[in-house]
Amino acid sequence: MGKVYLVGAGPGDIGLVTKRALNCLENAHVIVYDHLANPALLSFCAAQAELIYVGKQAGSHTLSQGEIEKLLIERAREGKIVVRLKGGDPFVFGRGGEEALALAQEGIPFEIIPGVSSAIAVPAYAGIPVTHRGIAASFHVFTAHEAPEKEQSDLDWKTIAKLEGTLVFLMGVRTLERIVHELLRHGKSDQTPVAVVQWGTMPEQKVVAGSLADIVERTKEARLEPPAVTVIGEVVRLRSQLRWVEHKSLFGFRVALTRPKDQCQELAEVLQQDAADVLITPTIAIEPRPLTDEIRKELLRLHAYDWIVFTSANGVRIFFSHLARLKLDARALSESRVAAIGEKTAETLAHHGIRPDAVPGRFVQESLAESLAVHANDRVLVPRAAVARDALEKILTEKGAHVQVLPLYDTVPDSHGISQLKEALRQKRIHIVTFTSASTVESLAGSLAAEELAELFSGVTIASIGPLTSLALRKLGLQPAVEAKIHTALHLARAIIEHVQNHSQQFHA
């Protein structure tokens, strides 16, 4: 018997998702997800996980509620760990209670993982506190998802109109006219402030504010569409002073990261701190090579090398992983000098107790080669990817050094990440794409014709970590608008923020 986790995906911004929710996604065999769950969350799922979309939009349901419940039960009975990923919180108008009851009646183990409700998060991202001392001592949440042609409402409008606190209506764009009519009919002042927030917490967030007297017309003029949250009450007036997220540089931008998921944390965090929605779509994967006799031989004779030169953090991690299997550690490098191509590689070495003797000012192979005090007949070991630029070896060989390349890993296309990126680009959901190596570019291009590549990136800002990556992009006819001056993820993130700030008028035209 498997288990079902009813998981709240929050209002959209993946920064508002709980650690417990992410843990469930990472370990699930099956993810059954909604229209309102941010697709970026699917990048946290295992590559082999089964993804089943059961989104419900106005006039279009992929599966009925009963069919969804049946699906959860069937997959759990197959012995699988199932995540039912629901926008907001499962128990706040999310029909989580119905699904939990269906599971309980069938004897299926389940857990509820609460999520941040859009009822409070969406107003907060619009600069509207649902309660405020001296203005609103309570707030009330209602579902407005009622058919417009329905003659009898389930809501007690007479009582609702008399409430003194903040009124929050979920999913009410298409019934807004009815909401306004009923409140006015039962005595609410037509000067009561109202705000309608579309896709709150997401790059598509759009806010229309007014009063009960004009909000319907204002919303029509702005062409707001579901999903949206309607907030009614005096707290709406605070928005002019508290609209914090709209002042962040990357608010309204969705950024795709193409490097492997386990190497995205720093770049993602800096971008998210400036309100970007980050989509992790790796175009490459790192596949360590097994501890072969060739690798074993070189690791057992490290003392014979004058220099050990690392050209990537990946190489460092895999190198020390193999050393550990041989019951060796950093002391095995004690008779050699060590070089690192850049800050991140040096930082990874430091985690293993090694402070490199050489780190070039520019993080490219040519600068690395020139920074080494290599003499004729020096022996140099270069643990790196099986396929990589050979500029380092050529320059060192010209200096008279004996260079031994030790292939530790392969860089291969990540078909799942490439597929996600292509689909998001086709849907025009991506504003900025980052590339952190030539291989991230070439891997994507390998699955696309030149015409399709140009079409997908039309109107998209391309950000490159450095000149070699930019060169790979230009060879494919793609022009990077952003290039990091220092070739690290942190400086790439800062370059993106600076570029958006300098071109704000262009982006918001």
Given the residues 13, 86, 171, 202, the one annotated as active site: 171
The question of whether 34 is a catalytic residue gets the answer yes
Q: Catalytic one among 34, 89, 378, 414?
A: 34
Given 3, 56, 70, 206, which residue is catalytic? 56
Which ranges of 163-223 would DSSP assign to H, the alpha helix?
176-185, 215-222
Q: Give the span between the Cα atoms of 307 and 181, in whole angstroms.
A: 79
Q: What DSSP character marks residue 335?
A: T
Distances (CA, A) of 472 to 284, 313, 364: 15, 21, 14
CA 368, CA 391: separation in Å to the nearest integer? 10
DSSP track, 352-379: TT---SB--SS-SHHHHHHHS---TT-E
Residues 6 or more apart whose CB falls under 8 angstroms from that of 279 comprise 39, 40, 43, 254, 255, 256, 257, 420, 421, 424, 429, 430
Instruction: Tell me how far apart the alpha carbons of residues 78 and 47 are, in angstroms, rounded to a whole number.
Output: 19
Token reading at 364: 């490219």
- Phi, psi at residue 292, to the nearest 5°? -80, 170
Q: Is 19 noted as a catalytic residue in this protein?
A: no
Q: Please state, in angstroms and rounded to a whole number, the distance separating the CA atoms of residues 379 and 454.
A: 45
DSSP 29: S
Using alpha carbons, select from 318, 329, 256, 257 the residue that is nearest to residue 292: 318
Nearest C-alpha neighbor of 179 from the set 108, 236, 115, 228: 228
The set of catalytic residues is 34, 56, 171
